[in-house]
Amino acid sequence: MVSRILVIIPTYNERESLPRQVDAVRAVCPDADILVADDASPDGTGAWAQERSEADPQVHVLHRSGKQGLGAAYLAGFSWGLERGYDVLVEMDADGSHRAQDLPRVLAAPGDWDLAIGSRWVSGGAVENWPAHRRLLSTGANTYVRLALGIPVKDATAGFRAYKADALRALAFDQVESQGYCFQVDMAWRVLQAGGTVVEVPITFVERELGASKMSGAIIREALIKVTVWGMKERATQVRRAFVKS
């Protein structure tokens, strides 16, 4: 049976870059549908997406009331897709940093997986046009996540990924409160805790050419604090289990 695929693209002020990304995804995966989850962008992103959806039945728009964050946009997109019976739900950025040409590789990830991550930090993965401090931030954050949570994922912060619908149905969306880097870590960890299988596929991440990055100090601080708290709770749980067994 052919899988129904939904590519979710969250947007806030991506009017310049979104048309290029939508065209690219439609070109490489013509059978996939696209959902633009727009947080009431003041630059007209949502209006453009609405016009495109009226001309292309495989493009849809989820108009949200305001800027509520990346995690909330994806969770709303997941709910929208699950309600409509999609089998695979994909996360992609609007700015082109997630190359459409890598999408078929992510979807064709080997093995029986629940979450396939387009990874920058496995063998064959790469980043382009990143300054040294961005590279250091990403590799350092992922190393910290692996040590704190004990998960075997080299790029847990990656935002280019595909979920099987059944894996998402097993998660409690109302318990996910994190955003940005932290949202991606949170979701990968939840899939693993639920007994799911996570695989990583090498992709090339390209720094955006248009628009402004949404990365901020607040997002980085949130990730550091939450991962530290989660790690402490996980280690405490492991200690309790060890005492019970002994």
For position 77, which CATH number holds?
3.90.550.10
Distance CA 240, CA 145 (A): 22
Mean of the per-residue pLDDT values for the chain? 90
* pTM (2 d.p.): 0.89
Residues 6 or more apart whose Cβ sits within 8 Å of residue 171: 187, 190, 191, 194
Which pLDDT tens digit goes with each residue over 187-218? 999 999 999 999 999 999 998 665 555 555 66
Query: How high is the pLDDT of residue 228?
Result: 77
Query: How high is the pLDDT of residue 143?
Result: 93
Query: How high is the pLDDT of residue 223?
Result: 65
Which pLDDT tens digit goes with each residue over 73-90? 999 999 999 999 999 999
Which pLDDT tens digit goes with each residue over 14-69? 999 999 999 999 999 999 999 999 999 999 999 999 999 999 999 999 999 988 88
Range of the domain at 194: 5-245
Domain tally for the chain? 1
Q: Which residues pair with 7 in a beta bridge?
A: 34, 90
Given a cut of 80, is residue 174 above it in pLDDT?
yes
Q: Which residue has the higher pLDDT, 227 or 135?
A: 135
Query: How high is the pLDDT of residue 226?
Result: 72
Given a cut of 60, is residue 135 above it in pLDDT?
yes
Distance CA 32, CA 34 (A): 7
State the burial class of residue 206 (Cβ atoms within 10 Å of its Cβ: 0-12, 13-18, 19+). middle
Q: Which residue has the higher pLDDT, 11 or 134?
A: 11
Coil vs helix vs strand at 105: helix
